[in-house]
Structure 1
Amino acid sequence: MEAKKAEDSLVVMNELVLPNDTNTFGNLMGGRLMYWMDIGAAMAAGKHCNKPCMTASVDNISFKNPIKLGNIVHIEVKLTRAFNTSMEVRIQVWGEDPLHKHKYASNEAYFTFVALDEHNRPSPVPALIPETDEEKEQYKAALRRRQLRLILGGKMSPDDATELKALFVQNAVGQNQQA
């Protein structure tokens, strides 16, 4: 299987927030946004592996700023890393007020997708090639995020999470040296 560039998985979606998409405060409903995020992430994962994919996990989704009725939602999705059968996907969301020409950050999240074979069983995926500095940093951090997901899901012992433990050991050493 030939490795693919992170940039090749890029998906950009735009949606207009209509009345049916909002809550009683005139803000985009979180569930509607998560639905759009999941669609974009599925498209990016599918572009990478050329196979059907399913959502395996969704990391914390924090809402920085609400997106209002009549605003435009910009969703940018790109793979950060491919493992054996799974892929981590980063989703960034911005809102845009088209009348005032103002674009603002709204959300960011990481979803994990698993590629499926013809029997709906996990299937190997191509490796990911990060090229830019940001892609390389996201690639490196994806292993720590994966280890945390596996620990929280009861699939990995914290003692086996070497990359994640190294992050805390480095921070503790740095703090002790500053003290």
Structure 2
Amino acid sequence: MPTPSDTYIQNRERIQPNQTNNYDTAHGGIVMHLMDEIGAMSAMRFAGETCVTARVESLEFRRPIPRGEIAVVESWVYDAGRTSVRVRIRVDREDPRTGESERTSDSTFTFVSVDTEGSPQPVPELVVETDRDEELCELGRAHHGE
């Protein structure tokens, strides 16, 4: 049975000129795309099946990510239903020269596990084995005061 730690993924992408808006910062749609992509990877790692986005909860863009800085996206599964998986996704901006970073966005996405025809598939039970697993579950639930 998978644990939250098993599903933890962190990815970095440097924001390029073709990913920016008129303010020379990452376009919100680009940030959301990165979140959806990395979140789906965590969900699929957990479910062992293809997972599709079913819901995005209160996605906040607190700060911009300037062109040339790095979007650091981290995601992990913190809860699961019968066919659905809840994934916490956070984004930080990181200066590639200094490593200095700050939180720019976070959300919870719900993904549904599906078979090749797109029918929902059962997911395994989430198992909490370590202190790190417990911490990840608490961080996931804390996003919306669950």
TM-score w.r.t. length of structure 1 = 0.73
Which structure: greater strand fraction? 2
- Offset of 1:82 from its aligned partner? 1.0
Q: CA separation in 2, counterparts of 1:95 and 1:56? A: 26
Tell me if structure 1 keeps the 8 A contact 2:4–2:137. no
- Offset of 1:65 from its aligned partner? 1.3
Residue 34 (structure 2) aligned to one of 33, 36, 43:
36
Where 1:59 maps in the other structure, the secondary structure is: strand
Residue 76 (structure 1) aligned to one of 58, 67, 74:
74
Structure 1 residues 16 and 123 mapped into 2: Cα distance closer, same or farther (>3 Å)? Answer: same
Residue 55 (structure 1) aligned to one of 43, 47, 53:
53
Q: CA separation in 1, counterparts of 2:104 and 2:10? A: 15
- Offset of 1:138 from its aligned partner? 4.4
Residue 104 (structure 2) aligned to one of 99, 103, 106:
106
Greater CA deviation, 94-103 or 74-83?
94-103
Higher-Rg member (1/2): 1
Count of equivalent residues: 142
In the other structure, the counterpart of 1:7 is 5
- Offset of 1:102 from its aligned partner? 1.7
Structure 1 residues 64 and 6 mapped into 2: Cα distance closer, same or farther (>3 Å)? Answer: same
Structure 1 residues 106 and 87 mapped into 2: Cα distance closer, same or farther (>3 Å)? Answer: same
Identity of aligned residues (%): 33
Q: CA separation in 2, counterparts of 1:46 and 1:11? A: 11
Q: CA separation in 1, counterparts of 2:116 and 2:14? A: 36
Q: CA separation in 2, counterparts of 1:58 and 1:101? A: 29
Structure 1 residues 25 and 118 mapped into 2: Cα distance closer, same or farther (>3 Å)? Answer: closer
Higher relative contact order (CA 8 A, sep 6+): 2
- Offset of 1:64 from its aligned partner? 1.5
TM-score w.r.t. length of structure 2 = 0.89
Which structure: greater helix fraction? 1
Structure 1 residues 6 and 101 mapped into 2: Cα distance closer, same or farther (>3 Å)? Answer: closer
- Offset of 1:100 from its aligned partner? 4.2
- Offset of 1:97 from its aligned partner? 1.4
Q: Which amino acid aligns with 1:53?
A: C
1:51-107 Cα deviation digits (max 9, x unpaired): 111100001111121110100110001001111000000001110112344211111
Q: CA RMSD in A?
A: 1.9
Q: Which amino acid aligns with 2:135?
A: E
